Amino acid sequence: MSYSGITLALSKGRIFEETLPLLAAAGITPSENPESSRKLIIGTDRDDVRLIIVRASDVPTYVQYGAADLGIAGKDVLNEHGGNGLYQPLDLQIAKCRMMVAVREGYDYAGTVKQGARIRVATKYVNAARDHFASKGVHIDLIKLYGSMELAPLVGLSDVIVDLVSTGGTL
């Protein structure tokens, strides 16, 4: 199926909500609310622009392979994807958060690092975690998880976690 307009890949959630005012400022309004719609292709008030709603981690793939002309995703998604064939023209300054290393209460992280012992790290962000700990000379075993990071050290799966936090409230 061929579409001659501009296709913008977005994911539901915080980035989408914070993108809406930017789209409105550019004169683009979705024809329906993707948060309440089950449609994955959503028109806009402009005939030459449509939105496709995909998983956040899939936004770069849709752009890389030409199914979308552009996409809006978090820097974490771009870093994990690797960015091959992608260009980030600007930072929209939305969905602010930070990558954090968190340990369970009572765990002697500094002592473990000082001894040169291997640390088990649970994370969704394996590339970022690998790069971070390598830059510090810390030996790690990475455990890829897709959610509930804070549970991993509590049940003995990992020593530490690497995750994105906005407020740190769930830690």
- Looking at residue 51, which CATH number applies to its domain? 3.40.190.10
Q: What's residue 167's pLDDT?
A: 61
Q: Is the pLDDT of residue 147 over 80?
A: yes
Please indicate, yes or no, if residue 154 is contained in any of the structural domains. Answer: yes
Residue 59 lies in a domain: yes
Q: Which of 46, 81, 116 is the last residue of a domain?
A: 81
18 plus 63 within the same structural domain: yes
Residue 127 backbone dihedrals phi, psi, to 5 degrees: -65, -45
Q: Looking at the domain assignment, is residue 89 inside a domain?
A: no
| Distance between CA atoms of residues 32 and 42, nearest Å | 7
pLDDT at residue 171 is higher than 70: no
117, 76: one domain: no
Task: Examine the domain organization and report whether 103 and 71 are in the same domain.
Answer: no
| 134 and 74 housed in the same domain | no
In this predicted structure, the answer to whether residue 118 has a pLDDT above a threshold of 90 is yes
In degrees, to the nearest 5, what angle opens at C-alpha 121 toward C-alphas 73 and 127?
A: 35
CA nearest neighbour of 50 among 36, 64, 31, 27: 31
Q: Does one domain contain both 110 and 157?
A: yes
What's the gap between Cα 57 and its chain centre?
6
Neighbours of 56 (CB within 10 A): 20
64 and 12 assigned to the same domain? yes
pLDDT at 157: 96
Who's near 167: CB < 8 A, 6+ residues apart?
none
Per-chain mean pLDDT for the chain: 88
Examine residue 102 and state whether it is found in any structural domain, yes or no: yes
Whether 109 maps to a domain, the answer reads yes
pLDDT for position 38: 87
Examine residue 19 and state whether it is found in any structural domain, yes or no: yes
Examine the domain organization and report whether 19 and 65 are in the same domain.
yes
Range of the domain at 49: 6-81
Among 81, 110, 140, residue at a domain's last position: 81
Shared domain for 15 and 55, answered yes or no, is: yes
Query: In this structure, is residue 43 part of a structural domain?
Result: yes
| Domain end point (choices 20, 52, 81) | 81
Residue 88 lies in a domain: no
* pLDDT score, position 37: 83
Pairs from 87-95 (Cβ < 8 Å, separation ≥ 24)? 92/18, 92/19, 92/22, 94/15, 94/18, 94/19, 94/22, 95/14, 95/15, 95/18
Number of structural domains, the chain? Answer: 2
